[in-house]
Amino acid sequence: MDLNLLAQLTVSGVVVGSSYALLGVSFGIIYATTKIFHLAHAVSFAAAAYGAVWASSSLGLGFALALVVGLVVGLAFGVMIELVFYRPMRNKDATLLSIFLVSLGISVAFPNLLQLAFGPDNRTLERPGNPIYELGPVTITRVDVIGTVLIWLLIAAVTTFIVKTRFGRSITAMRTNPVMAEAVGIDSKRVFTVVFVIGSALVAVASLIQTSKGVATPNMGLQPTLIGFIAAFLGGIGSLWGAALGGLALGLLSSWSALWLQVDYGPVVVFGVMFLILLVRPQGLLGKAAV
């Protein structure tokens, strides 16, 4: 085996896996708490990227400010979907299936609205250069270094928030036993809103890191959302560190698969892994068996 290649694949696997980890945490915190299969997470992802592109190209804002605008736009879309669509349905005791179908509808319509507004072509964010560092046989770009560090800081911050603060513990209470949590006076609406704020902000960051080195396209959101779900699922729903590690493992695996398979097979490996896990261990790798 080519050790240099292995080292390079490992480094890119960590980079990709870190963004998968962030996607996993962002999807996992929403799904575990609200039980909504939030496919429209994809909308927040794309909205963040297009928000930044729009701020940069139409408003003429600088790179840093454009990222801030993107973050706000992505977050706003996520929270808006909860407030405008999901919450009224929950109030009317809609089933999770019908809420999922609404989420599906939103995630079908939105990319096409983006396409109508911005055109079907790839959009690039005006950005500073992205120098490449060489560490022996391995190369890595500046965006990847900053992005990866940022991701793990964010994940650590969110998990600390959940474990250490009073509000964070009320999220956990809501996740594990909603009826009891309401009974002791936890406001489910507030918890859900905060969860959507955190989840949407995290997915916006993931989107902006990707847009800082790649392009924005109308359909860019769906695949990351599904990867986020797979990561969250792999780690066991409800465990944020599980979701993060699930994402990392997924990234490494799809990167290493290039040792044996053509590059085209990367996504096949990712979804294939989930399929296998579903077959042999439906509760996820770190999850507990359902009672």
* Residue ranges binding other proteins (CB under 8 A): 37, 85, 88-89, 94, 96-102, 104-113, 115-116, 120, 222-223, 226, 229-230, 233, 262, 264-265, 267-268, 271-272, 274-275, 278-279, 282
3-class SS of residue 237:
coil
Minimal distance, residue 222 CB to other proteins, in Å: 7
Nearer to other proteins, 89 or 215 (CB): 89
Burial class (CB in 10 A: 0-12, 13-18, 19+), 259: exposed
Nearer to other proteins, 62 or 105 (CB): 105
CB atoms within 10 A of CB 9: 19
What's the rounded Cα separation, in Å, for the pair 219 and 108?
Answer: 9
Nearer to other proteins, 68 or 94 (CB): 94
**Distances in whole angstroms, Cα of residue 215 to Cα of each of 67, 87, 123, 150, 220:** 14, 33, 6, 20, 9
Instruction: Specify whether the CB–CB gap between 10 and 252 falls below 8 A.
Output: yes
Q: What is the CA radius of gyration of the chain?
A: 19
Nearer to other proteins, 59 or 113 (CB): 113
Nearer to other proteins, 102 or 138 (CB): 102
Minimal distance, residue 108 CB to other proteins, in Å: 4
- What's at 197, amino acid-wise? V
**φ, ψ dihedrals at 127, nearest 5°:** -150, 160
Minimal distance, residue 19 CB to other proteins, in Å: 18
Closest CA to 77 of 195, 201, 219, 182: 201
Minimal distance, residue 210 CB to other proteins, in Å: 18
Residue in the structure block whose two tokens are 């040792």: 259
Minimal distance, residue 134 CB to other proteins, in Å: 32
Minimal distance, residue 88 CB to other proteins, in Å: 7
Nearer to other proteins, 98 or 165 (CB): 98
